[in-house]
């Protein structure tokens, strides 16, 4: 009788431990890696006005428990983003549950070969797919000073890759902000705090879908 009681006590203790561990894991925020250039990093802005910080606040205001890792580096091209991707993934204390990829602006500003940018972004998306990490790819538009053909080829890379990998796609990261001087810093390229607010407002609905994808992936 005593042995039976002791056995039940052990089973109950183990069940409690497993339940506690599950609850703790389930209670962790959804970690989102924001891989990008100066538009992600928050060039020229106070830290609290950077895109990842403002986006995290917007998602939390909707009741979503998230933590966004700012992996933006000013000046980065798609090649730079690819070169540090593994480091960005391993640098996090826990693997990210999802990712936002915002790269390509500096490729366009420098007139770098479109096919090379496409290969770099393709490789980035392939690595996330291999790790079963849901992705939101944000598109960019090329400056028109390199000619119509360059701009057309550049702009088409992003939707093509989004279709190829079946990832969420936001067509233009600077939508609603580009060329609007009241929403840009003095350089005419980077958003000011009001510009970041517009970007976050526009992109939040699809990031909510990204969070849901991450949760579903975790649950499965």
Whether 38 is catalytic: yes
- Output the average pLDDT for the chain: 89
Between helices 148-165 and 114-130, what is the axis angle to 10°?
A: 10
Q: Which fold has domain 30-219?
A: Rossmann fold (3.40.50)
- Of 78, 88, 107, 190, the active-site residue reads 190
The whole-number pLDDT of residue 207 equals 98
Residues with Cβ within 8 Å of residue 41, at least 6 apart in sequence: 50, 70, 72, 73, 74
SS3 184: strand
Sign of CA dihedral 201, 205, 210, 214: positive
| pLDDT category of residue 8 using cuts at 50, 70 and 90 | very low
pLDDT at 34 over 50: yes
Rounded to 10 degrees, the C-alpha dihedral 148/149/152/158 comes to -140
The ranges assigned to domains in the chain are: 30-219
Q: With bands split at pLDDT 50, 70 and 90, how would you rate the model's confidence at 15?
A: very low
User: Could you say which of 24, 149, 187, 220 is catalytic?
Assistant: 187
- Three-state DSSP at 70 gives strand
- What average pLDDT does this structure show over 130-151? 97
Confidence of residue 91 (pLDDT cuts 50, 70, 90): low
Q: How confident is the model at residue 114 (pLDDT cuts 50, 70, 90)?
A: very high
pLDDT at residue 93, as a whole number? 58
Task: Say if residue 143's pLDDT is above 60.
Answer: yes
Share of the chain above pLDDT 90, in %: 81
Please determine, for residue 107, whether its predicted confidence score (pLDDT) is greater than 70: yes
49 is catalytic: no
pTM listed for this prediction = 0.87
- For residue 31, is pLDDT > 70? yes
Does the active-site annotation cover 88?
A: no
CA distance 146 to 153: 11
**pLDDT over threshold 70, residue 210:** yes
Which residue out of 37, 38, 78, 88 is catalytically annotated? 38
């Amino acid at each position: 009788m005593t042995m039976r009681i002791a056995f039940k006590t052990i089973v109950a203790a183990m069940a409690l431990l497993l339940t506690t561990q599950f609850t703790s894991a389930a209670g962790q925020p959804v970690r989102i890696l924001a891989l990008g250039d100066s538009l992600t990093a928050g060039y020229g802005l106070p830290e609290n006005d950077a895109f990842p910080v403002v986006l995290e606040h917007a998602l939390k205001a909707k009741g979503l428990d998230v933590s966004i890792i700012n992996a933006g580096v000013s000046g980065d091209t798609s090649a730079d983003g690819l070169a540090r991707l593994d480091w960005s993934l391993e640098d996090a204390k826990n693997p990210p549950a999802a990712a936002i990829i915002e790269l390509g602006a500096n490729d366009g500003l420098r007139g770098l070969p479109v096919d090379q940018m496409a290969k770099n972004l393709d490789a980035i998306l392939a690595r996330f797919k291999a790790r079963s990490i849901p992705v939101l790819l944000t598109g960019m538009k090329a400056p028109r000073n390199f000619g119509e053909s360059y701009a057309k080829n550049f702009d088409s890379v992003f939707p093509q890759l989004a279709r190829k990998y079946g990832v969420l796609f936001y067509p233009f990261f600077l939508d609603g902000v580009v060329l609007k001087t009241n929403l840009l810093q003095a350089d005419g390229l980077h958003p000011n705090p009001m510009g970041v607010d517009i970007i976050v407002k526009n992109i939040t609905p699809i990031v909510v879908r990204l969070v849901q994808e991450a949760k579903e992936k975790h649950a499965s």
